[in-house]
């Protein structure tokens, strides 16, 4: 089965370099949901060289910082799971106490209906911060 | 409300230094479930200094490596959420294709009953690897 992260299209890319890309995930409950995707088809963080581990995690934290600056969330959630798609990627999610799952993880059963509109210019602001960081 | 990670007891500590401790979580579905807990009551990764971020994440990956060496899991899951307990800690979880939730995250609805016995000497072997790493 072809890997959906090796063959992605229709992604809203906020930042990209030779090793990785950072996208804004389309999720009506979570406008501040980004994904940092390593370009090479690698499974685990410890499959990367020490330099590449640091490079990837540094961009995960730059994404966290950009989300904090733009959205001032109540919490940031970071996760790399990859059980369904074993191609290294990180979820970076801005959480709010009134969001659909809080305080549960977004993968648990929802606690309330809480669609959330993205603030105007969200993608542009995140992209500007990431490209300037 | 007192923080349960500042006031923890009954933890099975595998490794400890001045900044953090690594524990084996008691979970009958996930014997290979570790938690890396920053000792200071800090909320987000980006609240740490660059040196401390690197120190903490380095130990998260040493934990990943120890779990891979001892258990040879099908996947590693890493996450720092902290919505319920906003004291910086990482979940490092050895996943198997026949575990209770696979390929879902462990926070989703379980897919099957799959209690899993810990291999003999698990805690000792993880602790030995972490202390030698």
Here the ipTM equals 0.97
pLDDT of residue B128 exceeding 90: yes
Which class for B89: exposed (0-12), middle (13-18), buried (19 or more C-beta within 10 A)? buried
Q: Where are the domains of chain B?
A: 12-132
Chain A nearest CA to B92, separation (Å): 10
At residue B1, the pLDDT reads 78
Residue among A45, A84, A104 whose CB faces B103 most closely: A84
Q: What residues in B contact A83, CB-CB < 8 Å? A: 75, 77, 95, 102-105
B8-40 pLDDT tens trace: 989 999 999 999 999 999 999 999 999 999 999
Q: How far apart are CA B51 and CA A64, in angstroms?
A: 17
List, in sequence order, every beta strand (DSSP E) within chain B: 12-16, 20-24, 33-38, 75-80, 89-95
Q: What residues in A contact B64, CB-CB < 8 Å? A: 44-46
| DSSP helix/strand/coil, B70 | helix
B85-123 pLDDT tens trace: 999 999 999 999 999 999 999 999 999 999 999 999 999
Q: Give the sign of the dihedral formed by CA A73, CA A5, CA A9, CA A62.
A: positive
Q: What is the pTM of this model?
A: 0.98
List, in sequence order, every beta strand (DSSP E) within A17-133: 20-24, 33-38, 75-80, 89-95
Does 1.10.3720.10 match the CATH number of domain B12-132? Answer: no
Chain A nearest CA to B21, separation (Å): 20
Q: Is-cis flag, bond preceding A60, omega within 30?
A: no
Q: Show the tokens assigned to A57.
A: 């995690």
Q: What residues in B contact A102, CB-CB < 8 Å? A: 83
Residue among A46, A64, A104 whose CB faces B65 most closely: A46
Would you report the helix, strand and coil content of chain A in percent, each value rounded to 5?
Answer: 25, 20, 50
Residues of B with CB under 8 A from a CB of A: 43-46, 53-54, 57, 61, 64-65, 68, 75-84, 86, 95, 102-105, 107-109
């Amino acid at each position: 089965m072809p890997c959906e992260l090796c063959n992605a299209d229709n992604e809203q890319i906020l930042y990209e370099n030779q090793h990785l890309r950072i996208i804004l995930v389309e999720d009506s409950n979570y406008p501040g949901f980004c994904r940092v995707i390593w370009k090479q088809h690698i499974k685990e963080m410890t499959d990367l060289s020490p330099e590449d581990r640091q490079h990837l995690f540094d961009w995960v934290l730059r994404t966290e910082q950009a989300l904090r600056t733009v959205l001032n969330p109540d919490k940031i959630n970071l996760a790399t799971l990859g059980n369904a798609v074993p191609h290294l990627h990180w979820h970076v999610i801005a959480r709010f106490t009134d969001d659909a799952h809080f305080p549960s993880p977004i993968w648990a059963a929802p606690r309330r209906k809480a669609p959330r509109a993205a603030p105007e210019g969200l993608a542009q602001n995140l992209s500007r911060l990431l490209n300037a960081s």
